[in-house]
Chain A
Amino acid sequence: MTTRPEAAQSLKDLVLVGHGMVGQRFLEAFVEQPGAAGWRITVLAEEPRAAYDRVHLTSWFSGASAEELSLTPTGFLAEHGIDLRLADPATAVDRAAHTVTCASGAVLRYDALVLATGSYPFVPPVPGHDAAGCHVYRTIEDLERIRDGAETPGTRVGVVVGGGLLGLEAAGALTALGLETHVVEFAPRLMAIQVDEGGGRLLQRKIEALGVNVHTGAGTQSVLTGADGRVRAMGLSDGRELPADLVVFSAGVRPRDQLARECGLPVGERGGVVVDERCRTRDPHVYAIGECAMAVDGRVYGLVAPGYAMAETAARSLADDGDDVDGGNGLGEEHHFTGADTSTKLKLLGVDVASFGDAHGATEGAVDVLYSDSRAGIYKKLVIGADGRLLGGVLVGDTESYGLLRPLAIGGKPLQTAPEQLVLPSGLVPVAGPIALPDEAVVCSCHNVSKGEIRAAVHDRGCTTVPEVKKCTKAGTGCGSCVKLLGTIVAEELEAGGVTVDRSLCEHFGQTRAELYEIVRVAGIGGFSELLDRYGRGGEGCDVCKPAVASILASLAGGHVLDGEQSALQDTNDHFLANLQRNGSYSVVPRIPGGEITPEGLITIGEIARDHGLYTKITGGQRIDLFGASVDQLPQIWRRLVDAGFESGHAYGKSLRTVKSCVGETWCRYGVQDSVGLAIELELRYRGLRSPHKLKAAVSGCARECAEAQGKDFGVIATSAGWNLYVGGNGGMTPRHADLLAADLDKETLLRTIDRFLMFYIRTADRLERTSVWLDRIEGGLEHVRQVVLEDSLGICAELDALMARHVDAYEDEWAAVLADPDRLRRFTSFVNAPGTPDPAVTFVPERGQIRPARPDEDGRILTPALVAGPRLEVRTA
């Protein structure tokens, strides 16, 4: 009756039913146990794919592939000899015979059985609930069906039943699919489990502002179908009829305990296989973990962190007493699973929501401390016990303090700071540091790592960086929400231990970039060798310090970036004054100040691109990028651009990129100032300015902010009285809204303030530190910067002004200078021993009427000017 081969009889058989997130975590934990090698593991999975990240399922709609969502590391199963059987779910368990039967008919013997079957979506048994057009939201296949449904012609309105966490995720997905979206929630507020009334109200307002229609306090009575049997409307408990073409049920989940029920294992009243603190069911050979299990505290946990904790407990427990199922008791109590913290922090439809501890103030004698600002969209409530301890809280709109507050609440020590300090916006009051956290406070709830364990990793196990602590303790490797706090704890611990945090730029310089800047400035250093010899640690230098020093020298000493010793320090982009692309070719971006360009200019760029066969694309900074140039082509392309009056756009440098602008009052009905004129003036003033990282800027002609100035390193917004200056904004990976540095400035004051802001940033920032990070890092933050540049609190403004004046005076177009110098031109050749030979490895294929790099399996062709342009190359436009 066994399908197993006769060999390896000495191995014991472990069968895991279910390969979801918790099942995979169990496998990872189990194979690390000392006795794991004595087990042969088989996994029965219902879905056609291995474990994937269900928590981030919604990201599938925004482009994450099933592969990217996968949680099973490549080679993991093979390495541990795990037999994963996809799309072959278990159908029955015979506990007396110790066997599991699968859908395929196979019968497997087990010495230990682990149930990790998860849960299924609850669909209210209303009439029509199974009509065509009704969906649930749990697997990648469900998502595929929802997408197909939404894309069917005539599908216009989507209704989500359930306003909880998953329901809002689903609503976001429907909105993104272009449907008019409604959320129907039975409870009087959204996310009723996590947030309180006030938080729910704010959440609803924010979500409605995103175009989602919310109906709270409304039950689903029926799903009404049309003649074709498809969904046409929802009947609500208040008698309304809501037109609907597509319905997603996400009204909660129920444990999948059918297997356990059928083989006689006890289950809870509301479902869930009953397990003890070691995650064992009543049968010592059978374990249950995750959403299908009911823990000793009588709860069924629907979150991943408790599931992971159960997986770890079961893995240890099984490895510990697998030999003697009735006796073994070596499992320390610290590994028992007796219940879990259900705190959550998430971003729903772009709205930050967090809830932790006793969020609803259920503890007797608990009082609230509340901060609410409807205008800013922030709601924060802390629940404080009668004894002054923090018990829990709700945060909507701003969850920055979650990482600090949750451990305080779970740690259970009396607060050392006044609670109002913990909810008021930072800046109004000093924020308590994590030093105030007790050692037992859990910092990483995904892996249950306490502050004490992180401290021990630093002072007992020699970790000195966050990555080392992550490796050592696993803290911060789950959802990642605690990484920032982790960094602060590590730094504090190092400092407390008398260890100076190593802030060396690299192995060649013990100084930070800012310190090197000061040395170069004060000692009047003129070159890299001199700096390395006098102030460095010897060696050749490297790709970290060379470009950083080159940038400092360029900011302080000026001169062409390709002059003398400096030329050897530059990154490849600066070296060739162009941007390296993935196949080794370069792109070219001429400066188009403020995004303003004449028809003649456009035609010239178009002709040059056409003659050289370049791919063209409009950039986000309102200019034109020309792709696919070889190094040999760069001077030819730039010769024509320079002749036509263009100059370098410095897209390749850590320097000012563009000053984007809206069209402004000249044309726009709403504009109050000439934003284009100012943008051009700013771009010409700061062009070529080398800095620790790239600089982006924008000017908006009115408060509508069409130029998105608040997302830039410096942004200017017109007011009727002058200009408002914003600094420290960022888009990209870590968006940050800029801070208002000064309001209603006249133009002269505006220029002077920007001059000083930029020069102060260049002087004090770390290598590759954008203004946004810099502003958050430097002591005193925005207020300090304001005092330095507006009130000259450090007495350096005259110096900053002089440096900028010198920059403005000394500016020359780098490309024009290269073209005028045969020495500098010489480097623009693909092969030093075969000038004029194009790089045979750089090949292209056509796509949408232009070129793109050929992939390794494609037969592309080499692009030479002659090939593309023929005789036209000889025709000069100027």
Chain B
Amino acid sequence: MTEMLTRPVATEARTGLVEILDGRTWSRVCPLEELTPGRGVAVLSESGQQVAVFRDRSGGLYAVDNLDPFSGAYVLSRGIVGSRDGAPTVASPMYKHVFDLRDGRCLDEERTPDGRPAVLRVWSVRIVQEGDR
């Protein structure tokens, strides 16, 4: 059975193929077991956008933009996954800004240096089991 989940996924699944929703089509990320709990990977979406996909230690899956709006570098996938007051987070490896992985909001500053809201786009993630495709 396919777990058709939008938004962040909390799953008991141990295997399967992780995908993100790129507009209307699902793009392949990688097999679930290749995601190290507590870390992220960078994905190039079908439309050429950079997405950071994370798995936390309790099994949650999250996908947000890979672009760190504070540094302008595509590095968020290389940040450390954590939690703050119960919210799953990633800390940018560049200047350590922390983002809520559920809604993409920066928890340290509301705006980026150029005045735009410091919010990352959140991408939908799902796990597809063998034979469901």
Contact = CB atoms under 8 A, between A and B. Distances in A.
Interface of A: 507-508, 529, 539-543, 546-547, 565, 567-569, 571-573, 575-576, 580, 582-584, 826, 830-834, 837, 839-842, 856
What secondary structure prevails in chain A residues at the interface with B? loop
B128 interface: no
Contacts of B91: 542-543
Interface in B43-87: 43-44, 48, 50, 53, 56-58, 67, 71-75, 78-86
A837 B42 CA distance: 11
12 contacts: A540-B82, A540-B88, A542-B84, A542-B89, A546-B82, A567-B39, A568-B38, A569-B80, A584-B74, A832-B30, A833-B30, A841-B67
Given A539-B86, A567-B36, A572 B78 contact: yes
A710 B28 CA distance: 55
A830 B73 contact: no
Nearest to B58: A540
B96 A543 contact: yes
Interface residues of B, number: 41
B63 to A, nearest CB: 12
A582 B30 CA distance: 28
A837 B44 contact: yes
A568 B83 contact: no
A575 B78 contact: yes
Interface in B98-113: 98
B93 A571 contact: yes
B127 interface: no
A572 B27 contact: no
In this complex, the member of A568, A582, A830, A856 whose beta carbon has the largest number of chain B beta carbons within 10 angstroms is A568
A543 B73 contact: no
A573 B71 CA distance: 16
Nearest to B27: A833
Contact of A832 (B42, B57, B93): B42
Contacts of A542: 80, 82-84, 89, 91, 98
Contacts of B88: 540
B16 interface: no
A543 B44 contact: no
A767 to B, nearest CB: 13
Contacts, number: 102
Given A529-B57, A571-B93, A833-B44, A543 B79 contact: yes
Given A507-B84, A542-B89, A543-B98, A568 B74 contact: no
B119 interface: no
A567 B40 CA distance: 12
B42 A830 contact: yes
B82 A832 contact: no
Contacts of B41: 831-832
Nearest to A568: B38
Contacts of A507: 84-85
B85 to A, nearest CB: 7
B9 interface: no
Contacts of A540: 38, 56-58, 81-83, 88-89
Nearest to A541: B82
B72 A856 contact: yes
A540 B91 CA distance: 12
A832 B74 CA distance: 14
A831 B43 contact: yes
Contacts of B82: 539-543, 546
Contacts of B39: 567-568, 575
A582 B71 contact: yes
B3 interface: no
B38 A546 contact: yes
Contacts of B86: 539
A586 to B, nearest CB: 10
B70 to A, nearest CB: 11
Contacts of B120: none
Contacts of A575: 39, 78
Nearest to A840: B48
A569 B44 contact: no
B43 A833 contact: yes
A571 B80 contact: yes
Q: Which 6 A-B pairs have the closest CB atoms?
A: A542-B82, A568-B38, A543-B91, A572-B93, A540-B83, A584-B73
B118 interface: no
Contacts of A576: 78
A529 B56 CA distance: 12
Given A575-B39, A833-B44, 8 more contacts: A539-B82, A539-B83, A540-B57, A567-B39, A582-B94, A584-B75, A832-B42, A833-B27
B93 to A, nearest CB: 4
A541 B83 contact: yes
A529 B37 CA distance: 11
B74 A547 contact: no
Contacts of B53: 832
A670 B74 CA distance: 51
A831 B44 contact: yes
A693 to B, nearest CB: 16
A542 B85 CA distance: 11
B29 interface: yes
Nearest to A564: B36
A849 B86 CA distance: 50
B28 A833 contact: yes
Contact of A580 (B27, B72, B93): B93
A359 B72 CA distance: 53
B80 to A, nearest CB: 4
